Amino acid sequence: MLGYRVPAPDEAMLISGGRYGLKEAPFRVVTGHGAFVTPMFRKVRYLTLSMQEAEVAETCVTKQGISLNVRAVIAFKVGNNEEAIVNAGQRFLSDQDQMSVLTGRIFAGHLRSIIGSMTVEEIVTERQKLAGEVLDGSKTEMATIGLTVDSLQIQSIDDMGAGYIAAMAAPNNAAIQRQAKIAQAQADQAAAEAVQASARKQAEFARQTSVVQAQYKAEIDKAQAEAAQAGPLAQAEAQRAVITAQAELAQHQAELRQQQLVSEVIRPAEAEAEKVKILAIADAERTRIAAEAAASNNRVALDQLLIAQLPQIVKEAAGGLAGANVSILNGADGLGEIAAGLVSQGLTILENVRRGVNAAPANDENGTPQKGNGQLPA
């Protein structure tokens, strides 16, 4: 927009051409926002608010009279408030590079003053103290010109070949070297011990490896020996198994042969003997039965014979009575009694004959009928 100006974030816009807030301020300060600027009646300039750097390289004399070359770096900038911007603008707006030059000169003077009140030992060993005193001494002057210091760093301190700092550092150097040598010796010892430990470990590893290899070789040899023996052992085991099987087969065949002999010879022989025995018993029983039957038949025949001869016997008895002198008193009854008596006697004779026949043995030990007193003539 025409007449509207905006400063950069690290700039302060200075507008001149009127009266402003601060007493006798020659310009208006605008930061962080824009402003209308009336053309021809107002003039705009810009002052940097960014960080600046100044270097100092100054020869200073210590409290002991020893010259030291001191190098330092100062980081500074224009202050953030309106008063600091006005002060800096009045001094450096036309030549802002002069801020670094003037700041270096201010710090060089304070540096010479502070170092002149200190010893080399204090300067070397207490650099932070030196920087702090220099900052405190320059703070008022820097505020007057509108500048603030962010930091001061002492970069180097040199005695310009006098050898004082080196001599001062010699004990420390010797101690450091001694400590370094001790540390190196300890390191060397530790390294040697590490090498020895490594060698021991390697030896142990080699020994263990040898033992393992020997054990492995022994196992391999054992396995090979067992493998080599496996063939004959397996063959012997197989032969033994074959012999055992053959023995079992022979025993089985013997059992089968025995069973076959029992089935084909003994059992038929036993059966034949049993048959003969049964036949003999049957024949003997048949003979006995035949003898008994024969004896029974003889007795029946004898009885029949006796019965058949009974009339003849009675007749003969009657004939004998006829020639005898026998008187019959009671007539027919008497005659009947005589006849009955004759028959009775005939029967008695028949019974006696039968008993005689039964008392005599009918057969011999072979079952053959015997001849003699027990048999009647045919």
pLDDT one digit per residue (tens) for the chain, 378 residues: 567 888 898 898 888 876 655 556 678 888 888 887 877 778 888 999 999 999 999 999 999 889 999 999 999 999 988 889 999 988 998 899 999 999 999 999 999 999 999 999 898 888 888 899 999 989 899 999 999 999 999 989 988 888 888 888 788 778 888 888 888 888 888 888 888 888 888 888 777 777 777 787 788 888 777 767 766 766 777 778 778 877 787 787 778 777 777 777 777 777 777 777 777 786 777 777 777 766 666 666 656 665 666 666 656 655 655 555 545 445 555 555 665 665 566 667 666 666 665 555 555 555 555 544 444 443
Element (H, E) at 233: helix 164-261
Query: Residue 370 has what pLDDT?
Result: 53
Query: Residue 18 has what pLDDT?
Result: 67
- Domain positions in the chain are 1-50, 52-168
Tell me how far apart the 2 most distant CA atoms of the chain are, in Å.
Answer: 237
Alpha-carbon distance of 208 to 216, in angstroms, equals: 12
Strands of the chain (E only): list them: 4-5, 11-16, 27-30, 35-36, 43-48, 52-61, 67-78, 147-158
Query: Residue 70 has what pLDDT?
Result: 92
Beta bridge partners of 59: 69
- Please tell me whether the overall predicted TM-score, pTM, comes out greater than 0.95 for this model: no
Instruction: Give the closest residue to 148 by CA, choosing from 14, 10, 49, 22.
Output: 49
Alpha-carbon distance of 73 to 55, in angstroms, equals: 5
Query: Residue 106 has what pLDDT?
Result: 93
Q: Which of the listed CATH numbers 3.40.50.620, 3.30.470.20, 3.40.1080.10, 3.30.479.30 matches domain 52-168?
A: 3.30.479.30
Buried-state track 364-373, b at ≥16 Cβ within 10 A, e below 16: eeebeeeeee
Alpha-carbon distance of 30 to 21, in angstroms, equals: 12
Element (H, E) at 270: helix 267-322
